[in-house]
Structure 1
Amino acid sequence: MFSGVRRLAPTTRRDLLTAAALCAIVPVGMAAASGARDASSAGPKHQPPALTTVSPSGTWTAAGRAPRTAESVVQIVAHPDDDLFFLNPEVGQSLRSGRPLTTIYLTSGEANGVNAPRRKDAQPRLFPAERDHAKYAKARQNGIRAAYAEMVTGDATHPWRRTVIATAGGGQAELDTLQGHPHIQLVWTLLHEAGSITGDRPHSLHGLWDGRVPTLGSQLVHGGEVARNFAYDREQLIRTLTGYLERFRPTQVRMQNPTPGRLDRNLKCADHQDHRYGARFVQEALARYASLGGRPHFTVQTYIGYFNGGLPGALDPASGASKARTIDTYAGDGGAPNACKDAAGCGDRKVAAHPKRNWTSTIHHAGDTGTNWLLIGEDGTLSAFAVLDGRIAQWHRPAGTGGRTGQARWSGPAFLTGTGFDAGIQPVTLPDGRLAVYGTRAVLGAGPAAYHREVGYTEQRRPGAAFGPWRSLGTPEQSDLVGTSDISAPAVSVGADGATTVFLRDSSHQLTARTRLPGGTWAPWQALGGRAVHSDPVTATDSTGRAYVLAATPRTVLAWVQDRPGGRVRGPLATGLPPTTLPLTVRPDGDGVRLYFRRPHSGNIRTAHLRASDLTPVRDPHGLRAGAPARVTDLGGAGGYGPASVTPAGWGDALLAARSSTGDLATAWLPAGVDPRPQRWSRTGFLLAGAPSGTATGSGGVVLTALGLDGRLYWTQTPRKGARFAPWQPVDAAATGRGDVSATPARSAT
């Protein structure tokens, strides 16, 4: 039990109530197209190489027929360039892998209509600084086409085929297909943008979401394929987006953050209003699409937007430079003047003046899977949990099914109750052997004012039995208006007496907790303090039974520790750790815990051992001044970003698994001993969704799992030291949705 902390006051961040209006009002469009394309019928499924095979994440795509793969990535963003700034390098990784990718732009991004550098000392203007919204929107289209063509073919001038498609909402959209590469497509929904980051703009996605305007109109581009104006009401926009999903049949959807939070310094929204409300319309469409049958399973990944500029850079120098070069191409830099031969311009000249803002050196997922989603029971039973189709999916492998990998008897996915879940779920094993799964989800409500996110759980009625209903724990937030429902994924600590504590980072960037007492009663939400926490919290228990909770700020890592098992918690405490790229992994390690994290601007994995006796009270607002800096060991790596999976094997070594700089899964063995250094890193060659998860087996071996971009669970294992890993195998063969009648949008807590 976590006691002795102050109760979360109902007036926390009172000033937000008066500042909330700053975050409202913004438009953005969406569109959908009729028709269908069955990606899974294109041919044999892609089989990833063996774990020990070192190979690139993808090769340059050759012109010709669409690749034979079950994968289909759909990206939906508010403005042209949101994908390049906030989703890349994952855009380029998918393009170079040869898999189908479609990017959908909701608005035309016309801004103030002036396509010119913002600074007088910028490069000379190649085009007049006239105010022409249609021409500026066209110039941005030209820049996007050049950037995508260059990422795929190496030639920014590679031609596109441009056509008009009817949308399910009654309007029209432009569909661009890269010639010779029919699996690479761009969709221009052509809606009017807000024209302001946080200003009051009723004719916007924000205004349409809130019902301040009945319809949102179009913004056509100069010389575009779509020649007639149109407008969407709220329902038409959702139908348009749902139609897109039906047409392109994604196995992964990439989208912007619907709950970006507020800035501490002025309480303004931390992201563009078009990003936020465009993403909420996407959530509505995804909920509707998920209820349909006959579609492939899909994962969803959300991305932090503008606030990336205030976070440590997550990309290594080479990846950051590559991302910056793509932005330069989009801006029209580096090529011959008017290479596209368009009077509107060949790129976004505003970006040419100041393309960085630290956005090109980083990428941060707004929610991730974490690395603790694979559990093993005392009898050797394996259970993996992830979010597919907005629902919690479970894969199961009974005990005693070792043998040859081709004969392993995995089953799944089977779906638990509830809908609308975020990716970062947390399964745990209770003292009596039952499993419980905690997570957060968006509740869309009967109207836009009802939108919020909640944390909750579902648990087995008895060990090995079915899971019960979803039980909501509510939220520590006052309202969506105050904090935009910006809460983290949960971390869950389970005591030997059965007391369970759920930890969250709230929208005030502090840690909060709610504890389930041994008798089953849940205590109220309590504030645990801290400042500028922006990571998901993580937790582990040392050999004495004391729980540790750790969370990252942009400058360091803060800690909270129990004085004794089941006792009160102290914190925040200074760890003396340097800045990280935010995602953390923690494991028990003797009388303390061992933390794993990434080095900024490198991707290298670092580790530090933390003990409660070494942690000191925070003495400054940023938690930097500690009694002594923690000793950090650099384990190297293969670049990349996101959390690292760390799995101790029975013989003492540990398996490290993490996303590499090219987006595929990389692994290395970390030898046991003092101040260890890992052996060489190996690339698996396939792109993954989220982060990997591993577990030690009862016989001392290791099982490693990962989600593919095709929506399937992949797994491999090694039984003993020195043995080769088995080839990666998918658990399910078809990965097609069953259209369960229970897969309906979340409307209220169940």
Structure 2
Amino acid sequence: MNGPWLLRGRDGSLSTYATRDEAVWCRAERQPSLHWTSARRVGGEQRVRAQLAVGQGPDGYAHLVAWRPTVRGEFGLVHSTHFRPHLSALDWVPIGHPNKKGDRTGLPAVAVDAEGRAHVFVRNQGGGVSMLAQKERGGWGPWHDLGGLGAHEELAAVTGHSGRIELYATTDDGLLRWSQEKPGEALVPDDALEARVRPGTLTALHNSKADGTALFFTDPEGMLHTWRPGGVPRPLLAAAGPGPVAALGCVVDGRACTLLAQRSASGRVVICVCPTEQGSVGLRWTESGPQLPAGSRVAVAEDAQGRVVAASLTEDGELRLARQKDGTGPALDTWQTV
């Protein structure tokens, strides 16, 4: 999974996306903060592989990208738009392969600009990064090779200030970044940043409450770092478990903060609140909820009332939620299976 799989739609209802049994499944609140629907298959009957990218535009629509088998030993990417989680999503539409044809080349990433156009990114067979974007009047443009030789499989795409798309990748030597100077323009590379990054730990967050993009990653020794373009990486605290953290920009006790969540090595969800633009002294993880099996995912979002919601999803599809308690602070209420 790449991207925020727990989303809040235009009507305030939350929805989740997951891959299972060669398909993508969606669940949604029937009304904000009320009962949930059962899982429904997304995109029609085509078989897709368990490598899903999710992005959401300012219109609240979800854009989904996955690999599907084409002929023996070859795959192509497909795209679907889900306008409202209570309705059926559009059928999967083939959008091609960064090298015209071949095997899967990496985990795709997707970001949506201010006009609602999806931008799809994936590593190509040459070890660089390729991009495909929707046209203003419908359809898709051609694939573009953005460079980035030596990029690892996992990418992080985010929509930043004024709808500008930003893309991040890791290499053996550090971090790569591409960005748009203006919405709708081509993505151009920035100078590479030397950093020690454990592959598969990248998370990008545009925090509108703090007006900026922050990147989170773990180094080979297990220390979680944050980096804002134009600055230097800053260590936060030891990562609680493997893989990337889930991140959410929120306001806690009147201060702009970033809330981080992760499945810890012990199997429980852990939460940490980092005040924006402040040091890491005193940061710590707080455990919450029951133990989860290996492979479980963790996500965070805000509900229709502006409360923080944490979610966990097991590989067999069991969904649990906990909402922020009434009053001050980020403490979560009792976890519920939905």
The alpha carbon displacement at 1:648 in A equals: 2.3
Q: Is the 8 A contact 1:550 1:557 kept in 2?
A: yes
2:94 equivalent to 1:472? yes
Match of 2:35 among 390, 409, 413: 409
Letter in 2 for 1:374: L
Q: Is the 8 A contact 1:380 1:400 kept in 2?
A: yes
The alpha carbon displacement at 1:396 in A equals: 0.4
Letter in 1 for 2:332: F
Question: TM-score w.r.t. structure 1 length?
Answer: 0.41
Match of 1:711 among 312, 317, 320: 317
**CA distance in structure 1 between the aligned counterparts of 2:11 and 2:251, rounded to whole angstroms:** 16
Q: CA distance change for structure 1 residues 635 and 462 in 2, over 3 Å: closer, same or farther?
A: closer
Match of 1:504 among 122, 135, 146: 122
Q: CA distance change for structure 1 residues 492 and 382 in 2, over 3 Å: closer, same or farther?
A: same
Equivalent position of 1:657 in the other structure? 261
The alpha carbon displacement at 1:587 in A equals: 0.7
CA deviation digits over 1:21-79, x for unaligned, max 9?
xxxxxxxxxxxxxxxxxxxxxxxxxxxxxxxxxxxxxxxxxxxxxxxxxxxxxxxxxxx
**CA distance in structure 1 between the aligned counterparts of 2:195 and 2:162, rounded to whole angstroms:** 23
The alpha carbon displacement at 1:539 in A equals: 1.3
Q: Is the 8 A contact 1:700 1:719 kept in 2?
A: no
Q: CA distance change for structure 1 residues 379 and 392 in 2, over 3 Å: closer, same or farther?
A: same
What is the root-mean-square deviation of aligned Cα atoms in Å? 2.4
2:61 equivalent to 1:442? no
CA deviation digits over 1:364-420, x for unaligned, max 9?
xxxxx235111102331111001011110001013333xxxxxx4011211122443
Q: After TM superposition, list the pairs within 5 Å mapping 1:471-620 onto structure 2.
A: 471-480=93-102, 485-571=103-189, 573-589=191-207, 592-602=212-222, 604-610=223-229, 614=230
**CA distance in structure 1 between the aligned counterparts of 2:32 and 2:312, rounded to whole angstroms:** 22
SS in 2 for 1:411: coil
**CA distance in structure 2 between the aligned counterparts of 1:469 and 1:609, rounded to whole angstroms:** 37
The alpha carbon displacement at 1:655 in A equals: 2.4
Q: Is the 8 A contact 2:249 2:258 kept in 1?
A: yes
Equivalent position of 1:424 in the other structure? 51
**CA distance in structure 1 between the aligned counterparts of 2:317 and 2:286, rounded to whole angstroms:** 26
Q: After TM superposition, list the pairs within 5 Å mapping 1:271-350 onto structure 2.
A: none
Equivalent position of 1:53 in the other structure? none
Q: CA distance change for structure 1 residues 418 and 508 in 2, over 3 Å: closer, same or farther?
A: farther
What 5-or-longer segments of structure 2 have no aligned partner?
none
Q: Is the 8 A contact 1:546 1:564 kept in 2?
A: yes
Q: CA distance change for structure 1 residues 370 and 491 in 2, over 3 Å: closer, same or farther?
A: closer
Letter in 2 for 1:729: Q
Letter in 2 for 1:674: Q
Q: After TM superposition, list the pairs within 5 Å mapping 1:39-78 onto structure 2.
A: none
- Length, aligned pairs only: 329
* Stretches of 4+ aligned residues off by more than 6 angstroms: none
**CA distance in structure 2 between the aligned counterparts of 1:593 and 1:385, rounded to whole angstroms:** 24
Q: CA distance change for structure 1 residues 386 and 517 in 2, over 3 Å: closer, same or farther?
A: same
**CA distance in structure 1 between the aligned counterparts of 2:298 and 2:21, rounded to whole angstroms:** 19
The alpha carbon displacement at 1:683 in A equals: 5.7
Question: TM-score w.r.t. structure 2 length?
Answer: 0.87
The alpha carbon displacement at 1:456 in A equals: 1.2
Equivalent position of 1:268 in the other structure? none
CA deviation digits over 1:110-149, x for unaligned, max 9?
xxxxxxxxxxxxxxxxxxxxxxxxxxxxxxxxxxxxxxxx
Letter in 1 for 2:258: A
Q: After TM superposition, list the pairs within 5 Å mapping 1:188-227 onto structure 2.
A: none
Letter in 1 for 2:105: I
Equivalent position of 1:5 in the other structure? none
Q: CA distance change for structure 1 residues 672 and 697 in 2, over 3 Å: closer, same or farther?
A: farther
2:235 equivalent to 1:634? yes
Letter in 1 for 2:22: G
The percent of aligned pairs where both chains have the same amino acid is: 24
Equivalent position of 2:303 in the other structure? 697
The alpha carbon displacement at 1:464 in A equals: 4.9
CA deviation digits over 1:74-105, x for unaligned, max 9?
xxxxxxxxxxxxxxxxxxxxxxxxxxxxxxxx
Letter in 1 for 2:35: R
Q: After TM superposition, list the pairs within 5 Å mapping 1:66-105 onto structure 2.
A: none
SS in 2 for 1:375: strand
What 5-or-longer segments of structure 1 have no aligned partner?
1-368, 402-407, 615-629, 732-750
Q: Is the 8 A contact 2:218 2:239 kept in 1?
A: no
Equivalent position of 1:387 in the other structure? 19
Equivalent position of 1:452 in the other structure? 74
Letter in 2 for 1:453: F
Q: Is the 8 A contact 1:649 1:701 kept in 2?
A: no
2:252 equivalent to 1:644? no
Q: Is the 8 A contact 2:296 2:315 kept in 1?
A: no
**CA distance in structure 2 between the aligned counterparts of 1:432 and 1:657, rounded to whole angstroms:** 26
**CA distance in structure 2 between the aligned counterparts of 1:462 and 1:680, rounded to whole angstroms:** 35
Q: After TM superposition, list the pairs within 5 Å mapping 1:106-255 onto structure 2.
A: none
Higher relative contact order (CA closer than 8 Å, sequence separation 6+):
1
Q: CA distance change for structure 1 residues 440 and 718 in 2, over 3 Å: closer, same or farther?
A: same
CA deviation digits over 1:301-331, x for unaligned, max 9?
xxxxxxxxxxxxxxxxxxxxxxxxxxxxxxx
Indicate the larger mover: 641-650 or 689-698.
689-698
Equivalent position of 1:669 in the other structure? 273
**CA distance in structure 2 between the aligned counterparts of 1:605 and 1:571, rounded to whole angstroms:** 25
Q: CA distance change for structure 1 residues 413 and 646 in 2, over 3 Å: closer, same or farther?
A: same
Q: CA distance change for structure 1 residues 568 and 659 in 2, over 3 Å: closer, same or farther?
A: same
Q: CA distance change for structure 1 residues 371 and 692 in 2, over 3 Å: closer, same or farther?
A: farther
Letter in 2 for 1:682: E
**CA distance in structure 2 between the aligned counterparts of 1:541 and 1:493, rounded to whole angstroms:** 6
Letter in 1 for 2:306: G
**CA distance in structure 2 between the aligned counterparts of 1:641 and 1:385, rounded to whole angstroms:** 21
**CA distance in structure 2 between the aligned counterparts of 1:609 and 1:432, rounded to whole angstroms:** 26
**CA distance in structure 2 between the aligned counterparts of 1:644 and 1:519, rounded to whole angstroms:** 36
2:336 equivalent to 1:729? yes
Q: Is the 8 A contact 1:510 1:533 kept in 2?
A: yes
The alpha carbon displacement at 1:508 in A equals: 1.7
SS in 2 for 1:518: coil
Q: CA distance change for structure 1 residues 571 and 393 in 2, over 3 Å: closer, same or farther?
A: same
CA deviation digits over 1:324-379, x for unaligned, max 9?
xxxxxxxxxxxxxxxxxxxxxxxxxxxxxxxxxxxxxxxxxxxxx23511110233
CA deviation digits over 1:253-296, x for unaligned, max 9?
xxxxxxxxxxxxxxxxxxxxxxxxxxxxxxxxxxxxxxxxxxxx
Q: Is the 8 A contact 1:437 1:458 kept in 2?
A: yes
Letter in 2 for 1:714: R
